[in-house]
């Protein structure tokens, strides 16, 4: 699917149609020549040192001027405040991506944690688009879209709000790569909780999987990074344990895994172009966070993570925590 027979397993028209209203004909939602052209252009841009430097500056500014002050305010409050860390990180990511990609600043991570209609519309559009795939037949959501009712009406409104919000706002590091154990922690976390739980492709012509399984033309084939990260035959008897050491060799150096065993960033021709940039962002934020703050689950005894449906994975109910500043003495 991702390597030797990549061209025979595109995202497919069904997938593109489901996300068409939300993602249009962007790189995440197309195949063939249109995808190759966009990927080539994106790859050329993301390789430039000036782009990498700009991305790091945006991220560092968001960390130092918003994330750290927000956490300090919560940690030093006279009242014990429960903070939804998932919401905070979502705001951090949304601000950073918008500032880097579009040149706009949603300011979602300001101290007051403002409600951004743009961000709300984006999340709602993402969730409703993903729910299209859960219908028994695509005819269900297509009929709703035709008559502009129910979830399709909400989706249309959310997308329109996105465009309005975007237009309004548009008009108005090498040391990190050496932190081997931290890199191992990042990869181990995503092994157990990948940002994309599963990915589907559609078979273009009759084919066979490596184990001999016959796949007929038009069949939807799904691989599941979440499940793969918990397979004993891939990761051993301790596959359910959080064990960063599995990524470290005897010399203390981080060793990457075969991407087809660990397809968190996909693998092969369509591997994520923003992989390295996202890893640097995660490590930068983690360093800044844990140098100064201690985090404790607000409900450790009964907080069982459960996923909410969406294009990206998130915990239902968020991640409520207490944040305390580490005593410098």
What pLDDT is stored for residue 313 in this prediction?
83
Residue written as token pair 């934020």: 285
**CA 239 remoteness from chain centre:** 22
Each residue's pLDDT tens digit, 4-39 = 888 898 888 877 888 888 888 888 788 888 888 888
How far is the C-alpha of 302 from the C-alpha of 4, rounded, in Å? Answer: 45
247, 255 in Cβ contact below 8 A?
yes
Give the model's pLDDT for residue 224. Answer: 92
pTM of the model: 0.79
Distances (CA, A) of 22 to 12, 46, 125, 233, 305: 16, 24, 7, 38, 28
For the stretch 38-83, pLDDT in tens is 888 888 888 888 888 888 899 999 999 999 999 999 999 988 899 9
Q: In the structure, what pLDDT confidence band is assigned to residue 301 with cuts at 50, 70 and 90?
A: low
């Amino acid at each position: 699917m991702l390597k030797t027979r990549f061209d025979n397993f595109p995202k497919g028209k069904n997938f593109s149609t489901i996300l068409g209203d939300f993602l249009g004909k962007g790189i995440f939602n197309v195949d063939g020549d249109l995808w190759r052209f966009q990927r080539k252009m994106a790859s050329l841009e993301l390789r430039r040192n000036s782009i990498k430097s700009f991305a790091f500056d945006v991220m560092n500014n968001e960390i130092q001027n918003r994330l750290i002050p927000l956490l300090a305010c919560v940690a030093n409050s006279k009242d014990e405040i429960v903070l939804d860390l998932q919401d905070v990180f979502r705001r951090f990511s949304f601000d950073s991506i918008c500032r880097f990609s579009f040149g706009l600043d949603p300011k979602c991570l300001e101290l007051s944690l403002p409600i951004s209609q743009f961000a709300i519309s984006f999340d709602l559009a993402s969730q409703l688009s993903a729910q299209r795939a859960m219908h028994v037949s695509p005819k269900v959501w297509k009929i709703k879209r035709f008559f502009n009712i129910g979830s399709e009406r909400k989706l249309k409104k959310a997308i329109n709000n996105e465009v309005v919000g975007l237009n309004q706002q548009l008009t108005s590091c090498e040391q990190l790569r050496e932190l081997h154990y931290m890199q191992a922690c990042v990869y181990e976390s995503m092994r157990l909780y990948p940002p994309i739980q599963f990915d589907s492709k559609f078979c273009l012509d009759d084919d066979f999987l490596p184990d001999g399984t016959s796949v007929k033309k038009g069949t939807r084939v799904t691989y599941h990074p979440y499940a793969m990260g918990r397979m004993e035959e891939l990761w051993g008897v301790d596959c359910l344990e959080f064990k960063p050491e599995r990524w470290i060799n005897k010399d203390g150096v981080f060793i990457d895994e075969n991407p087809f065993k660990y397809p968190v960033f996909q693998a092969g021709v369509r591997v994520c172009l923003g992989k390295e940039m996202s890893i640097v962002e995660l490590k930068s934020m983690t360093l800044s966070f844990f140098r100064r703050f201690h985090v404790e689950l607000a409900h450790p005894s009964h907080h069982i993570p459960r996923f909410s449906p969406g294009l990206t994975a998130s915990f239902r109910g968020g991640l409520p925590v207490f944040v305390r500043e580490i005593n410098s003495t």
